[in-house]
Structure 1
């Protein structure tokens, strides 16, 4: 049973990864989290992840991935690059090439060191913003490749893969942590915790999903 096993959550302190963390805490006997420092635009993301891990009394690993910043300049790592949505088939400026490939590969190495079989990530093909490394086919392919490369049987879990933002908020509510996720997490590209700046693409997606969920929930108010 999964309740007898250990898991690693790829953790940014955002809405999706925090919801996945609470899902993992309900699903597995033991849970640890790993956050990656790739010189992202806002160090507050790392601090937010640290605070949540401390509050939940969870072992927190912080890995240095600075090389990713050097190899893949983008709006999440460079303040001089404007945050824009993808247009005419192009990827958004916030896409970091190879990020999930690298993060999940290193998460598997860490999982091997701490004797964890399960790896959880908050990627979603429903609200994936055009990111190719959030697709189900990629995750399944990488899972096979990681297992072959390390001769182990890791399982990569994607609790949000087929959920849109409204359904992700519902999952948080079902886990009795909706207020915690709303108030404590950092999704905003401008580094504003909670409801964020309200203007960046990440905030708009998060806000629209929350409003839809609260409207659909009987007696809900934004």
Structure 2
């Protein structure tokens, strides 16, 4: 009996990963984080999608993140940058977020004897987030195994996929319409196709347009 825990936000990538996990593991759970992000709609979407998928959903409070790092996803006074500067990551970078998410996910998973962790990070469409890189994930995987004396496997099914490829995978999994209409990727908290102009929406839309052109 294979078991997996999906780090789940209710966005395009983690939703695609959830249904990928359902195809590849016998039992799947989801873990969502409240880290003081701008929009509660993300958590609402995550809970609704998990319910639709028929998997357990747990929401964990990590809002301490907004107390120790300064970024536009947790600070309402900051505007989300629409264009990433050349000399630094975008101001949507939440320092240490994926490291903390995966660390808490591992603690949660070990308590339930779940060895497989699934996350939607990827570096094919690199957005300047250092904690989305394959090198980081492999390093953290080893660290978690050593720190808890437990053999975790972190799965990153989207690591080398472009956004166009992520749309293709959702179509293969039979969830294209669900991903397009019910996920929240938008930094401005608009469900589905989003606001259309924030960086997350631009990346999502470009990938969608490229995929639809290829599919037709």
Q: CA deviation at 1:86?
A: 2.7
Residue in structure 1 matching 2:25, options 1, 11, 28: 28
CA offsets per residue over residues 137-190 of structure 1, 9 Å max, x none? 000000000000000000000000000100000000111111111111000011
Structure 1 portions without partners, runs of 5+: none
Q: Confirm or deny that 1:76 pairs with 2:64.
A: no
Residue in structure 2 matching 1:113, options 90, 111, 114: 111
Paired positions, count:
215
Q: CA deviation at 1:57?
A: 1.7
Secondary structure of the residue aligned to 1:144 is helix
Structure 2 portions without partners, runs of 5+: none
Q: 2:66, 2:51 → 1: CA distance?
A: 27
Q: 2:200, 2:130 → 1: CA distance?
A: 17
Q: 2:156, 2:54 → 1: CA distance?
A: 23
Secondary structure of the residue aligned to 1:66 is coil
Aligned to 1:165: 163
- Give the aligned CA root-mean-square deviation in angstroms: 0.8
Q: 2:126, 2:38 → 1: CA distance?
A: 20
Structure with more contact order per residue of length (Cα contacts < 8 Å, sep ≥ 6): 2
Q: Confirm or deny that 1:67 pairs with 2:64.
A: yes
Aligned to 2:35: 38
Q: 2:110, 2:126 → 1: CA distance?
A: 28
Runs of 4+ deviating beyond 3 Å = none
